[in-house]
Structure 1
């Protein structure tokens, strides 16, 4: 039997496992994850009020419940965990599906002031990621600036103004729900340095903003008109054309009187965050930009300021190096050829990558399917030489002797039961456990 370790249980890891067992009947797959819970960004990145997308967990579940697939949660790989070299000793092949674990930086003064966070930190908090901390995101905030115009920026803007009635039916942790319910953010500015025809959000996500209760979407038609495609968007790709049409509709209507407002802004480049008297961020300074005729923008030397006690930076993700693997710092990816890891331009036998660490943070969840299939096709083409190497009968037994105590599938099911019980006790549906201690305590009940 070909034994494969897949590092990461998000969509790219699950689709890799699925392709392996579908394309080869003589393969056993261990899916390892640093967290005790599977599903990666589907569990910890998809907004809690996007239940249709979160239901993808049911598809990923069927993959991890396959009799030739084994989930091993709570198993970090790299420093402080299982070394990558040790995995290579225990498995014929290792596929790294570790995503892009950090955020891109703005690189401007004041970026690290209190009150300024990456959108990922905010998402992790309201999604109950066990590494997240409550840093007082909403402390004193009446106005917030979200820097970026992609789907994550739309998500955090929407969550900031959603009422408790709409969020109580989600799996959001209770502490985050209580904080948001008590929050007083009334104005959210969602700001992009380029124009509406180049924004990265999808039309479905954008339209959701216009359907939020007691919330108005306010768009400045003068800013939209700076975009050369605004007057006639017919030549744009479908998504961009529909985005412009939605924004135009908002710009042309009379703004209703509402308790909260979302303000999409365009052609503004952040140049500095300045502190208030208490040392927290108080103002974001932007330079007005204009199209440069080549798809980018250029500065005009004219500036404007937006007051904000909360700044969320949503300008993209970036992969980080993994101990023992080569890394291209420019792209934030592992060098590869059709998924085969390259070391000094030579294929590294038995080492593969899939997902964002392979191609960069691009595409949607479904993009991981063909990406995984390409990698698995390469791996199975190499299988005849890989299986010649003798392995221990069961790598998990050896890992346990070395101090690794994974959360297996029964442990994950115990976590699910605990979250359902917590929800029932709070008069809600399933409510996520928000910290390592609670998760691991729940997992241990599977063997109690």
Structure 2
């Protein structure tokens, strides 16, 4: 018995010791696995904090539990075109900021503002620090018209004009001269209609928005009473959406002035159009050709401002005043269409017409610019050449947003295109095409480089200080926010 007991006690001792050893071993392995897990987390860097950047980050973080994402932004403030491009009287579109804020505050996401990639740090340095780099910095260049006189005073790009009334620091000095009666906008997309609406909106509407104070004051004194929105093709090819057109039609204190001849044959063509285009065209026809009801006629009679589409027209030259120092008008070529529907081409007829105006705003598109000599760039298309967001001939480099597709679509379009890029990146991780087996230092090494170069990034909590001051300044005047207009002011506040 004593031998059995001895054996039993020994077995018990060995078992308890073994279980303690296994427990310690488990803890040790677990600790090491967790340490490995965190140090070997795939690290992704996103350049640009507009919708494309944030949607790419959002999808990566949700789809994979170990991915860490760092977002670098040139300005001290995030959100790109949601902050600087969306019209002030469209606050509902800016609600996506709430979603982006959730992403920015996620434990596996960090925001570094005030870092100019291509100048403060190179793309190659980012590639060494991260497993993958996604370029999402958008389209901050202007497409030029390529006509004589486009550099005269009184000619502006829509991008700069929108940046001016939305508080983009680089457009703060624009100070457009609004002392003329007629403004001509070239282009018939949503941005063109945004600009027309801002020029013609009653001040009582604008002063409740987050439009900048200098822009509001300039619009109070504006003499602009007539805005022509010019397109090279016809009503069936107009690029705006029905929402923007409806806002123009219903804009208080304005009336439409269309040319009936521009709509010849359109009524017959409407029945064959796809539904969204059909509804848009029907609203245009109704606005242009139908005799308004008594109430609408009364409203139009009282209106002190006028807007109009002008179709089948292309800019030929900006005409100068007698002193040759500022805009006095625009010469437009008269076009005819070859083909039909979306694919119709504008062909010159040889006729021209001159329109007197003191303000010309070119809304013919934004364009992306190259960021770094190491990144492939198609200058003709103004995009980074890519396949589903994978940059060609550049392993580990991706792009999303307008840099990937060109400046097309609305925020929802950018969301889908950014999710596609994120999916491409995740597929490459899963397949081993993108090697994430070795640890990368990520922001740790980039922070060191920036510190040596005297660059101090702005964190998301620094941005929240700016946000808080802007909203409290807005509260004081009945606006959603009063934006800070210079990088210096932003940095001063962020560092308090």
Instruction: State the shift of 1:334 in Å.
Output: 0.9
Counterpart-to-counterpart distance in 2, 1:38 and 1:329: 27
Counterpart-to-counterpart distance in 2, 1:230 and 1:118: 34
1:306 matched to which residue of 2?
Answer: 355
Q: 2:382 aligns with which of 326, 332, 353?
A: 332
Instruction: State the shift of 1:400 in Å.
Output: 4.2
DSSP-derived class of the 1:131 partner: helix
What CA deviation, in whole Å up to 9, does each residue of 1:142-198 have, x standing for no partner?
110000000000000000011211011111111111111111100000010100100
What CA deviation, in whole Å up to 9, does each residue of 1:108-150 have, x standing for no partner?
1111111101000100000000111333313422110000000
2:82 pairs with 1:42:
yes
Q: Which has the higher mean CA deviation after the structures are superposed, 285-294 or 65-74?
A: 285-294
| TM-score relative to the length of structure 1 | 0.94
Could you tell me which runs of 5 or more consecutive residues in structure 2 were left unpaired when the two chains were aligned.
Answer: 1-40
DSSP-derived class of the 1:375 partner: helix
What CA deviation, in whole Å up to 9, does each residue of 1:87-127 have, x standing for no partner?
11211111000112212221111111111010001000000
2:192 pairs with 1:124:
no
2:61 matched to which residue of 1?
Answer: 21
1:234 matched to which residue of 2?
Answer: 271
2:458 pairs with 1:407:
yes
Counterpart-to-counterpart distance in 2, 1:424 and 1:204: 29
Instruction: State the shift of 1:386 in Å.
Output: 2.5
Counterpart-to-counterpart distance in 2, 1:92 and 1:286: 52
What CA deviation, in whole Å up to 9, does each residue of 1:381-404 have, x standing for no partner?
333453234423723542443233
Q: 2:105 aligns with which of 65, 89, 106?
A: 65
2:54 pairs with 1:8:
no
Contact 2:233 2:312 in 1 (8 A): yes
1:249 matched to which residue of 2?
Answer: 286
1:395 matched to which residue of 2?
Answer: 445
Counterpart-to-counterpart distance in 1, 2:449 and 2:245: 47
Quickly say closer, same or farther: Cα 1:232–1:275, change in 2 above 3 A: same
Q: 1:56 aligns with which of 93, 96, 119?
A: 96
Could you tell me which runs of 5 or more consecutive residues in structure 1 were left unpaired when the two chains were aligned.
Answer: none
Counterpart-to-counterpart distance in 2, 1:158 and 1:414: 32
Alignment of 1:272-311 (within 5 A): 272-278=317-323, 279-293=325-339, 295-311=344-360
DSSP-derived class of the 1:376 partner: helix
The size of the alignment, in residue pairs, is 438
1:85 matched to which residue of 2?
Answer: 124
Contact 1:224 1:266 in 2 (8 A): no
What CA deviation, in whole Å up to 9, does each residue of 1:220-262 have, x standing for no partner?
111222xx43434111122322222112112223662321100
Instruction: State the shift of 1:427 in Å.
Output: 4.5
Contact 1:143 1:188 in 2 (8 A): yes
Instruction: State the shift of 1:361 in Å.
Output: 1.5
| TM-score relative to the length of structure 2 | 0.85
1:438 matched to which residue of 2?
Answer: 489
2:362 pairs with 1:362:
no
Contact 1:93 1:386 in 2 (8 A): no
Counterpart-to-counterpart distance in 1, 2:310 and 2:463: 43
Counterpart-to-counterpart distance in 2, 1:135 and 1:61: 30
The structure with the greater share of residues assigned to helix is 2
Q: Which has the higher mean CA deviation after the structures are superposed, 116-125 or 133-142?
A: 133-142
Q: Which has the higher mean CA deviation after the structures are superposed, 301-310 or 250-259?
A: 250-259
